[in-house]
Amino acid sequence: MRHRGSWAIAAVVGFSAVACSGNFDSTRAARPFADRATLGQEIFGALCDRVGASALAEDLSGDSYHAVCHPDDQGGYADQVDPSLLPPVSGSAALHRRLAVAKLEALARHRTDLIRSFDVVFPDIEIEDPHARVGTPDKVRLHDAVRVLMKRLSPLYDSNPLAPADQTAQPLIPAGTQAVARALDALAESPQAQASLARFGGRKGYRPSEIALGVLKPVLSYPDLRGFVRQSVRVLAPIGPARLEFEQLLRATQEELLDARPSVMPAPLVVTDPFGIAQPNRPRDAVEIAQLMLLSSDPAFAFPNAAPAPIVQRDARGFAVVNGSRLGEPGTVPAPFSDLFHDGPSGPEPGADGMADVDAYGRFIDGEGNPVAVDLPFDAPGTVRVREGDSLGRALLADGRPAFEYFDTQQTMAASLARDVRALADPVEANDHETLLNTLAGA
């Protein structure tokens, strides 16, 4: 499933780059290598041209970085911009020039990986043609489909077909990119949002790679995703029948977020048993009650002969629970982890709480404030493991013990309920098992 996410990112980059790259120079002589260039090289060239035109706007011909973006007759590239083809600058303009050149040369250092990625994302293969008509081939080459899609996207830089006919609207793609820019500007101006995102980044590898996409994986695998998206756009577009309701939902969500206030995390829940009955130190909230019920674990809940499906246990902060620690009981966090602080209203405050300390980036730290040399709960792409995990992929300490607390999701009440409900939501009409959906529809 990693290729699906890469496909979307590469497609957006490639399409935007080609659409924005300006007019082609029709006077250039054909290069012998051009007929052998891959689609990945063409996309990289368009992307590189776009970066060069933006960073070195004073180079009207693009000659200074052309060899960085495009191969010569033998297929070779240059790794550096040719400064002799740029007009002279001085003062602050010289600093800007160095930064612009560095940007292009950094792109050149990753050229091979980018081209290889584009070629993997867009292989020269045949795919199903969803627009095939009776009597026409039901397959189309992926490269041909990409070319057609690019042609359809290009007019959206100058028009907005979703806008009402009696209104003048900003072109669709520029409006979309500017909206994204405004959202990113808001994040850049909010240190609190940046700190929160940094802590979220510390939770990388908290789920096994095969389920790391969560609900996004089945959504992308939905066989009629194309039809669902098209119908959603038709209904929610500016002239769609549900547009006003959709805008009202967005306004309500905006007001809810504007009114949001940080809340103090409740004290860790500790269950004692002084008189033979389990007694919590405080009332459980609704989420804790749901967790207690749905995540209760017992082998009786598991499907016979089901392979274990472990997931890391988290504390109230959302961080992994260190193996051997007991939440709410100071002094139970084992070395090399530390427990010197707890979360207060305005940040970490001195005092243990039975939860391992983390830094501003969500990394576990020792008593000196240094990151602990421990693996992620599960392996994640792009990371180097300190030591090999066990047969289930769980992180281990030097003595061979699991570094964190895990539980088998196959043995939870939630998993058992999901298996039972599946039979009541069979989408095959001939089976007549849509009990759940019929109930929701009032049948």
User: Model confidence over 266-291: pLDDT tens digits?
Assistant: 777 888 776 777 788 888 888 889 98
Kind plus residue range of the DSSP H or E element containing 301? none
For the chain, first and last CA: distance in Å? 37
| Cα–Cα distance for residue pair 7/205, rounded to 1 Å | 22
By the 10 Å C-beta count (0-12 exposed, 13-18 middle, 19+ buried), 407 is classed as middle
Q: What's the pTM value of the predicted model, to 2 decimals?
A: 0.66
For the residues 379-403, what does the mean pLDDT come to?
90
Q: Are strands 126-128 and 139-141 parallel, antiparallel or unpaired?
A: antiparallel
Q: Are 408 and 302 in contact (CB under 8 A)?
A: yes
Given a cut of 60, whether residue 426 has pLDDT beyond it is: yes
Query: CA 298 from chain center: how many Å?
Result: 33
Kind plus residue range of the DSSP H or E element containing 128? strand 126-128
For the residues 226-232, what does the mean pLDDT come to?
88
What per-residue string of b and e applies to 30-62 under the rule 16 or more CB within 10 Å gives b? eeeeeeebbbbbbbbbbbbbbbbbebbeebeeb
| Cα–Cα distance for residue pair 321/311, rounded to 1 Å | 11
| Cα–Cα distance for residue pair 295/155, rounded to 1 Å | 51
3-class DSSP assignment, residue 250: helix
| Residue 301: closest CA among 214, 425, 422, 419 | 419
Given a cut of 60, whether residue 59 has pLDDT beyond it is: yes
Locate 389 and state its tokens: 């995990």
pLDDT digits (tens, 9 = 90+) for 75-129: 899 999 999 999 999 888 999 999 999 999 999 999 999 999 999 998 989 988 8
Sequence-distant (≥ 6) Cβ neighbours of residue 93 within 8 angstroms? none
Residue 304's pLDDT is what? 85
Sequence-distant (≥ 6) Cβ neighbours of residue 390 within 8 angstroms? 396, 402
For the residues 364-392, what does the mean pLDDT come to?
91
